[in-house]
Each structure stands twice: as C-alpha cells, then as structure tokens.
C-alpha cells in the first residue's frame, strides 16, 4: 500500500513539474548536471 502511495506522489510531482517547466524529472536532473558542469 505504501508503495502505491509513493508512486502516486511521484507521479503528481512529475505532472506538476511538466506543467511548470515542460520537463520530466530525469530531464531536469540531466539539465541540472549539465549546467553544473558548464559552470565549472
């Protein structure tokens, strides 16, 4: 039961981020890491 709730929460967070930024969670992580590398 807890796993299902966790997945629903993750899906809700992902849906919210897609609406705000147009990117899914893995794409945001990749972009963040790429920006961090470029700023060194």
- Residue holding tokens 């796993």? 3
Distance, CA of 12 to CA of 33 (rounded, Å): 23
Which pLDDT tens digit goes with each residue over 2-37? 999 999 999 999 999 889 888 888 888 898 899 888
Task: Give pTM, 2 decimals.
Answer: 0.62
pLDDT band at 40 (very low <50, low <70, confident <90, very high): low
Find where tokens 């945001």 sit. Answer: 28
- For residue 38, is pLDDT > 90? no
């Amino acid at each position: 039961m807890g796993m299902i709730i966790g997945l629903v929460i993750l899906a809700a967070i992902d849906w919210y981020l897609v609406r705000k930024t147009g990117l899914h969670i893995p794409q945001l992580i990749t972009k963040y890491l790429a920006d961090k590398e470029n700023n060194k």
